[in-house]
Structure 1
Amino acid sequence: MDTQTQTELEAAAFRRLLKHLDERKDVQNIDLMELAGFCRNCLSKWYMEAAQERGLDVDKDTAREMVYGMPYEEWKARYQKPR
């Protein structure tokens, strides 16, 4: 498999993961962290770091909005359950 195809498949898988997480707002970040060792915040951090490695100015809030599909504070207010 050539590098371009691999990159496209990885990007498609990442988009599908984001879609799946968006469809499962009932799954809390703490549950993801406990079971899988990562959460939506981890994904946004990895996204931000990858962008910065390429010289792009993507801050934490922008990366979180990309992962959550809305501003993080709005997502928390709507979907985060009290512990």
Structure 2
Amino acid sequence: MPMSVADLESNLKEAFPDADIAIEDLAGDGDHYRARIVSSAFAGLSRVKQHQLVYAALKGKVGGELHALALETSSPA
């Protein structure tokens, strides 16, 4: 079963409460998303570490409920 935008955003907000999050359903199928996440949690971290934090926040759902997730992460300017 695909993951809804609401569920995806809820998981991300739980992990990054200060985040500005924008989610786009790329294929209209609830399975392919782009997420832009701006959070102070990413300050000073490499892009790889930032993405690892996001995958950890999704608790193993990437590759299962969530087939594909394109990420854009950054800390606030």
TM-score with structure 1 setting the length = 0.29
State the TM-score, normalizing by the size of structure 2.
0.30
Please state which structure has a larger fraction of its residues in strand: 2
Identify the structure with the greater helix proportion: 1
